[in-house]
Every structure is written in C-alpha cells, then in structure tokens.
C-alpha cells in the first residue's frame, strides 16, 4: 500500500444520490452527502476535538495516547466522500481502491464508481467490460475481478447483505485481514485492528520497534499493539454519550490519518504531532530509521514496439488474454524486445556516431519490419515513428516505441491478429495504461478522430 495514500482533500464533483442497501432488510446506511452539499458547510465531525479527547482521557498512558489521537482527528480529519457514509459497500470500494493508489487519484474514481454501481447488486451483475472501464488506470485489475466475485458470493450466501462478521468478510475473495478490519471498524464500529503502510510507520515510530515490520514476529507484535489500542478505545465507549461518535471507527481512521498527514515517510512533523510526548522513536532520536523496511527490489527495464494500424477509419486493437499482467484489457498490437532478439535497440543513443547512426537506422529498420511482420502477419510498406511512451507498472519500467503503419496490408491476414474498431467503440473499452496514452497522443496530434 502506498505510504502517501489519503493525502489530499476532496475536490470531486458530487453525485446527487443516496446509496441504497442491497437488500430491503436494510443495512446501517448513512446517506451519502454529495460534494456540493458538503462544500455548503454540513459538518462531518459529530464532536469537536476537545470533546473527543475528554471522552478517552484516563490515567493510563494508553488512554492518553488514544485520547490525544481522537482529539486530533476530530480537529483535522479530511472531508473525504467515503467518510460521509457508514455503508460497508462504499467503504469497501474505497479501501480496495486506496491499495497502491493515492487519495487524490481515488477521489474521482470512487465518485464515478458509486454513481455507476451504487450497491452489491449492481456490482454482482455488471459486465466485465464495464468493471474494467471503471477501474481503468488504477492497475492491479485482479482486485476488481475479486470484488465482483465477492459481490456474487454476498448475493448467494448473505442474501445481498454485506456481512458484519469479520470471519465472513475474510472468507470473501480479495478481502484480507486489513480490509476486513477496516470495514468492521469503519462501517460497523467494531473493535478490530488495522495495519496498513501508514499504521505500520506510526506504530513502529511510536513504540520504537526496530525489527523489520514485514517479519513474522514484528508483524504479529504490531497487530497486537493495534488491537490493544482499539480495544482500549472500545472499553471507554460507555463513557461516550454522543450516539454518532463511533469511537473504533474514528480511532482506526485517526491512525491512518496521522500517518498520511503528520508521520509521513520522509518529513515527519514531530513538532506538531499530537502524540509526540508518547513517541519512543522521537525520544530516542530514531525517527528516520523507522520503520526498518528492507530495500525494495530493483526495477526491471522492459522494451516494447507497438504498431498503430488504421484502415477504413478503424484501428487494429486486441484484447489481452487472462492470467497475464493487465489481463482482459485492450491494447495496440505490440511485441516485447528481448535482449539481442532484434539485434539492435531501436532508440538512438546520445553516443552514436554518424556511422553507427546509419547502421542503427538500417538495421533498426529491417528489425522493425520483421517485428511488424511477427505482430501483424504481413510486412507494412511504411512505418513512421509516432511516440515513445515510458510507463511504470509494479516493478517494471516499460519503454514503448510506437509506430504508425501505412500502406496496403493484406487485410484478412492482419484481421486475424485483432479487431478493427472505430474510435467510438474504442472509447468504450478499457485500455492498458501505456496504450491509453497512445490514444492520448493520437488525439493530441489530431491525426485521427479520437475524441
Ligand atoms: S512524534 Fe514524530 S515520529 Fe513520533 S508519531 Fe509523531 S510524527 Fe511520528
């Protein structure tokens, strides 16, 4: 999960609707307040910070710590659209989207998704193409397929009602310990712990944990601390008189919020941190050593050539198979260049001399035509460079050299390699990230009628 998730404020356009529970039995649904209405000044924190910190005040340091966090959250929580609802479905969608993705990106995706698929029923029945289109650009598409599987399981086993029990949630496809804990606590105010990247950073610093938090023992210890804290909050619940306070929900969100806004990876703001006086990492001068995470594996470079073929006002595109990265998404025909396979790299190098440039051009040209033949099934008369796309995905840096294909091709041979689609049809399909950017270049150059 990205350490920088939940970092910006909501500016998304509101959707004027109320999310309905999937079953007429009714879930604890809070009305979703559209962005415009929120901007009009509807308060979203039922208690102010002073009240909140008093509620959890106690002699034990643990209670002081949770009280300080709740108080700070009451004063500083960002107004995010998924914080306007107790609907477990909306909270689930936000939690899955926020994995590996920053808050500022998720805002628009979440609003769009909730408008198109407002409940379990609509998700369970959605066509895969629609799901992928709504998720287009968020990456890790297995997540969205798992969500649909989970929605179908909820329809079959729980009558369309989102389960409230932690164990039932864990049994759903794609829902792990963190996501189940987040839904249980945020939607149902249960005292279940959460541990994501932000919480790991906060807790390792607060408690001065020097071990690698991904190792079994340290990880179990962190889960234990998170559980102890949220249980302490729940044990104070009887002192809370405001019916909307929902302490476990607010406490878990306060931990994540502190990690996103104050206890950030590179520049923690310890001078304004509400729990600074409890922080062992700060007292021992070890803040910048924590968390003690292993170095990330080196990113691998991958090079591709892609071909944009157009005939009779239609583009040749193809759908990726299942079981690969970006499975089921669409793309322009392309080929990965394995080292040495085509003899030369296509891109020019700054150290090229005049001679090597010519050699590179000649060899590159014949290599390129060979590559085009492999991808398209026929050799195009002319290939014209369109653009170079650089794109990162998981631990890969991809470079995509893109060429326009001209000349009379044997239509039947080429057709076997994909589908010829008009721009209007292409617009409705979910495209892999790098190939979506090719569409953007085509649109920018106004060479083709891509809207
Ligand atoms: S005092 Fe600094 S290191 Fe400790 S929790 Fe606060 S921001 Fe993080």
**C-beta neighbour count of 272 within 10 angstroms:** 10
Mean pLDDT of 368-380: 82
d(C-alpha 233, C-alpha 252), whole Å? 10
pLDDT of residue 384: 87
pLDDT reported for residue 351: 53
- Nearest by Cα to 178 from 80, 96, 262, 257: 96
Domain shared by 284 and 332, yes or no: no
Any atom of ligand 1 within 6 Å of the Cβ of 268 = yes
Q: Is 159 part of any domain? A: yes
Clarify whether residues 271 and 317 are in a common domain. no
Q: Are 317 and 283 members of one domain?
A: no
pLDDT exceeds cutoff 90 at 365: no
240-260 mean pLDDT:
85
Residue 21 lies in a domain: yes
In a domain, 424, yes or no: yes
Same domain, 270 and 316: no
- For residues 330 and 319, give the distance between their C-alpha atoms in angstroms, rounded to a whole number: 4
The residue from 264, 289, 314 where one domain ends is 289
- Tell me, what's the pLDDT at 24? 28
- Report percent pLDDT > 70 for the chain: 75
Residue 420 in this model has a pLDDT that exceeds 70: yes
237 and 126 in a common domain: yes
Q: Return the minimum-mean-pLDDT range out of 67-71, 95-99, 196-200, 410-414.
A: 410-414
* Domain assignment present for 35: yes
CA 16 to centroid of ligand 1, rounded, Å: 39
**For residue 247, what are the CA distances in angstroms to 30, 196, 201, 428?**
16, 19, 22, 43
Q: For the beta carbon of residue 418, count every other beta carbon within 10 angstroms.
A: 19
Give helix then strand counts, H and E, for the chain.
18, 7
Per the structure block, which two tokens stand in for 323? 């079981």
Q: How many domains does the chain have?
A: 2
One domain for residues 81 and 192: yes
Q: How far apart are CA 218 and CA 175, in angstroms?
A: 22
Residue at 72 is within a domain: yes
Tell me whether residue 11 is one of the annotated catalytic residues: no
Residue range(s) defining the domain that contains residue 311: 300-444
pLDDT tens digits, one per residue of 321-332? 888 888 899 999
Expressed in percent and rounded to 5, the helix, strand and coil fractions of the chain are 45, 10, 40
- Domain CATH number, residue 348: 3.90.79.10
Total residue count of the chain as it appears in this document: 451
- Residues 209 and 102 reside in one and the same domain: yes
Clarify whether residues 163 and 251 are in a common domain: yes
- Residue 20's pLDDT band, with cuts at 50, 70 and 90, is very low
Answer whether residue 320 is part of any domain: yes
Q: Ligand 1: does its nearest atom lie under 6 Å from the Cβ of 144? A: no
Summarize pLDDT for 339-363 with one digit per residue, the tens.
655 444 455 545 545 555 555 555 5
Residue identified by tokens 């394995």 is 338
Q: Does 333 reside within a domain? A: yes
Higher-pLDDT residue of 52, 228: 228
Give per-residue burial for 78-91: e unless 16+ CB within 10 Å, then b. Answer: bbbbbbbbbbbbbb
Going by pLDDT thresholds of 50, 70 and 90, the confidence category of residue 412 is low
CA nearest ligand 1 atom 2, residue: 270
Lowest mean pLDDT among 233-242, 252-261, 328-337: 233-242
Ligand 1 centroid distance, CA of 313 (Å):
59
pLDDT tens digits for 102-160? 999 999 999 999 999 999 999 999 999 999 999 999 988 999 999 999 999 999 999 99
Cα 324 to middle of ligand 1, angstroms: 41
Is residue 54 predicted with pLDDT exceeding 50? no
Q: Is 96 in the pocket of ligand 1 (CB under 6 A)?
A: no
- Crossing angle of helices 128-135 and 142-158, in 10° steps, is 130
Domain membership flag for residue 295: no
């Amino acid at each position: 999960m990205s350490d920088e998730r939940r970092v910006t404020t909501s500016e998304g356009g509101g959707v004027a609707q109320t999310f309905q529970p999937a079953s007429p039995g009714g879930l604890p649904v809070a009305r979703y307040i559209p962005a415009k209405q929120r901007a009009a000044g509807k308060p979203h924190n039922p208690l102010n910070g002073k009240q909140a910190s008093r509620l959890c005040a106690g002699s034990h340091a643990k209670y002081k710590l949770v009280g300080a966090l709740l108080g700070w959250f009451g004063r500083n929580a960002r107004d995010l659209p998924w914080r306007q609802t107790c609907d477990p479905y909306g909270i689930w969608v936000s939690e899955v989207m926020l994995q590996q993705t920053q808050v500022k990106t998720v805002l628009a995706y979440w609003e769009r998704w909730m408008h198109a698929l407002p409940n379990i029923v609509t998700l369970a029945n959605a066509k895969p193409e629609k799901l992928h289109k709504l998720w287009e650009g968020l990456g890790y598409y297995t997540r969205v397929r798992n969500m649909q599987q989970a929605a179908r399981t909820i329809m079959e086993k729980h009558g369309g009602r989102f389960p409230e029990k932690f164990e039932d949630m864990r049994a759903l496809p794609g829902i792990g310990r963190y996501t189940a804990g987040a839904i249980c606590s945020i939607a149902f105010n249960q005292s279940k712990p959460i541990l994501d990247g932000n919480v790991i950073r906060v807790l390792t610093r607060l408690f001065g944990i020097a071990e690698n938090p991904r190792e079994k023992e340290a990880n179990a210890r962190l889960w234990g601390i998170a559980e102890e804290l949220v249980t302490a909050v729940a044990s104070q619940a009887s002192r809370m008189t405001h019916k909307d306070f929902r302490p476990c929900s607010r406490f878990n969100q306060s931990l994540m919020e502190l990690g996103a806004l104050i206890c950030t990876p590179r520049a923690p703001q310890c001078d304004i941190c509400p729990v600074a006086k409890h922080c062992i990492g700060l007292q021992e001068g070890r803040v910048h050593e924590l968390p003690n995470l292993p170095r990330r594996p080196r990113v691998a470079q991958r090079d591709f050539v892609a071909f944009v073929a157009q005939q009779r006002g239609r583009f040749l595109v193809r759908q990726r198979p299942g079981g690969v990265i970006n499975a089921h998404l669409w793309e322009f025909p392309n080929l990965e260049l394995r080292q040495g396979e085509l003899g030369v790299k296509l891109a020019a190098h700054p150290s090229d001399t005049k001679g090597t440039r010519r050699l590179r051009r000649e060899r590159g040209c014949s290599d390129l035509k060979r590559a085009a033949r492999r991808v398209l099934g026929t050799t195009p008369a002319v290939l014209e460079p369109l653009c170079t796309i650089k794109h990162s995905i998981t631990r890969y840096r991809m470079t995509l050299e893109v060429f326009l294909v001209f000349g009379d091709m044997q239509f039947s041979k080429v057709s076997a390699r994909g589908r010829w689609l008009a721009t209007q049809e292409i617009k409705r399909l979910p495209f892999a990230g790098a190939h979506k950017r090719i569409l953007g270049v085509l649109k920018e150059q106004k060479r083709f009628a891509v809207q």
